[in-house]
Amino acid sequence: MAKKAPPQPSPEGAEKPAGKSKLKLIIVIVLALLLAIGGSVGATWFLLSKNMKKDEAPAAEEHAAAPVKQPAIYEALAPAFVVNFNYNGRQRYMQVTVALMARDQASLDALKVHMPVLRNNLVMLFSSQDFESLTSAVGKEMLRQKATASVQELAQKEVGKTVIEQVLFTNFVLQ
């Protein structure tokens, strides 16, 4: 049998080492890009966190200076309001006990000076209502909201700010 000739390098084999060098070059470029991107992200994070620490001190001071919600102060209006209605030819009555909710005692005291006007406005508001609408929960809530708006309007006019946060009905009787 004849001896086989040693294999000759083919032109394709000559390209394979060149292909490996191209692959190495691509890997090196990709690694360099990743390092550059990582470095820029790290530098950006470092600079921004440094600026945030400088900005946190004024933000903390502003947060500390933010107004704290004061506890509620309730002022009951005595005596209760009594209003009469003529409904379907019959005499009907409504009795409402009212409490005012405020947050500032000094402003509430300033509003107490105007209590006769406040009570007058509430009596007029209560007597102008339709008896039938007051029999539903929605009607009562609407009346409460109207009373709140009336008291706030008076406070704004006389004291210069809306002192009262809410008008509350602590007793509501229809007869």
Tens of pLDDT, residue by residue, the chain (175 residues): 556 655 565 555 445 556 678 888 888 898 888 888 888 888 888 888 776 665 555 555 555 555 778 899 999 999 999 999 888 889 999 999 999 999 989 999 999 999 999 999 999 999 999 888 999 999 999 999 999 999 999 999 998 888 899 999 999 999 8
Say what the alpha-carbon torsion angle 109, 110, 116, 117 is, to the nearest 10 degrees: -140
The answer to whether residues 51 and 77 belong to one domain is no
Q: Are residues 123 and 42 in the same domain?
A: no
62 lies in the same domain as 79: no
61 lies in the same domain as 87: no
Provide the domain limits for residue 43. 16-66
Flag whether 7 is in a domain: no
96, 123 Cβ separation under 8 angstroms: no
**Is 114 within the bounds of a domain?**
yes
The DSSP symbol for 37 reads H
| Helices of type H across 66-159 | 105-112, 115-127, 137-158
Shared domain check, 43 and 99 = no
End-to-end CA distance of the chain: 129
My answer on whether 113 and 167 are in the same domain is yes
pTM: 0.60
140 belongs to a structural domain: yes
99 and 118 housed in the same domain = yes
Same domain as 77, residue 62: no
Domain count for the chain: 2
**Is the domain of 107 the same as that of 35?**
no
Check whether residue 38 and residue 109 sit in a common domain: no
77 with 158, same domain?
Answer: yes
